[in-house]
Amino acid sequence: MKPRIVAICGTRPDAIKTAPVVLELRKYPEVECILVSTGQHREMLAQALSAFGLAPDYDLDIMVHGQTLAQVTTRALEGIDSLLEKLKPQWVLAQGDTTTTFVASLAAFYRQVPVGHIEAGLRTDRIDRPFPEEFNRRAAALVSRLHFAPTSRAAENLIREGMSAASTFVTGNTGIDALHHVAAISEAEWFPEHKGRVVLLTTHRRENWGESQKGIASAVRQLVDDFSDVLLVVPMHRNPIVREALEPILGGHDRIKVIEPPDYMDFVKLMQRSTLILTDSGGVQEEAPTFGVPVLVLRNTTERPEGVHAGVAKLVGTEPTVVLNESRILLTDDDAYKAMAQARSPYGDARACERIRFILLRELGVESPEVPMWT
């Protein structure tokens, strides 16, 4: 029987960053790669996978409206454990920092199946920031056999925590692979009738729920009032807590477009169309620099400091006057804007999936072309 690899995802970011790895592994008939969805974000996950021509081989469908983190965790653990017993894989792949990632690694550990952790080694200085993602990725690292770090900084984090250098590989981020794949095939066009600038806002993290998101919304509404050529676009997260904070402040303005979350292919083109992006999303922090779009990070800390150090992203927090002033600077100061609008990514070269494939197949005794590690 062929060696079997089970790739498990649960959310839209998981799907985006796992899909190109699955496509790469499926080029090699010597192994079988099975794609599993927990259904943690079911509809948004399906949208993301469809951009790559993929659908889950197994869908655990764990999502129940209003369930707690504990309920998500226990339902996912039971479902993944049962599936691992049935499939008996040689490897499990888990991506990033979601509850699905943590549970997949734990279930594999219980079954003594080796885990490959994609996007390993991202860290902040607090285990509850972001919550619960920081815990999830630290816990996954403890039981992973292979650590696919997106950057050298991430690899250094892992080695400092006691992970073996021999098990830690700097691959680049698979999200950049996904971005290049989709940008090359998408034909979406956003707001061709608007001849001015587009500012994109995405905010959904738990740490910003409530008053912080209301402050962000107030700041960007004022920004639109201050700049008559600016169109603000706000893809609204499906979580009702987020919508309750943002919609009353951002609704009813003729140059603010509050929209449903676009599918991944369309969102890539929306980022390309943007002049400036304000976000608390980790994925957007990684993706926007590829298109030379400056990013203001609506957080006080980030596990993706490479963009900040490269000058393509800036931490601004959520205090309304700071958010407004930093945005104004980039919309009025050409030199400040050009300094951040560097069309280069510190996160990868779109060959991360090839590196992961080579390392994983080597573990299984299967020959495949090697690619030098990302530096």
Catalytic positions, written as ranges: 97, 119, 133, 204, 206, 237
DSSP E strand boundaries for 30-167: 32-37, 58-59, 91-95, 115-118, 146-149
Q: Please answer whether residues 18 and 119 qualify as being in contact, where contact means their C-beta atoms are separated by less than 8 angstroms.
A: no
Other beta carbons within 10 Å of 209: 16
Residues in the chain: 375
Please give the helix or strand (H or E) that residue 256 lies within, else none: strand 256-259
The span from the CA of 265 to the CA of 291, in Å, is 15
HSE-CB at 251 with a 13 A cutoff on CA atoms is 7
Going by the DSSP 8-state scheme, the letter that residue 118 receives in this structure is: E
- Can you state the angle between helices 352-363 and 174-185, rounded to 10 degrees? 130
Interior angle at CA 177, CA 173 and CA 180, nearest 5: 135
Positive or negative, the CA dihedral 116, 122, 123, 129 is negative
Which among 236, 105, 95 has a CA at the least distance from the CA of 175?
95
User: Helix-strand-coil percent breakdown of the chain, rounded to 5?
Assistant: 45, 15, 40
Nearest residue to 153 (alpha-carbon basis) of 122, 117, 126 = 122
Query: In which region does residue 365 sit, left (phi positive, over 0), alpha (psi from -120 to 50) or beta (all else)?
Result: left
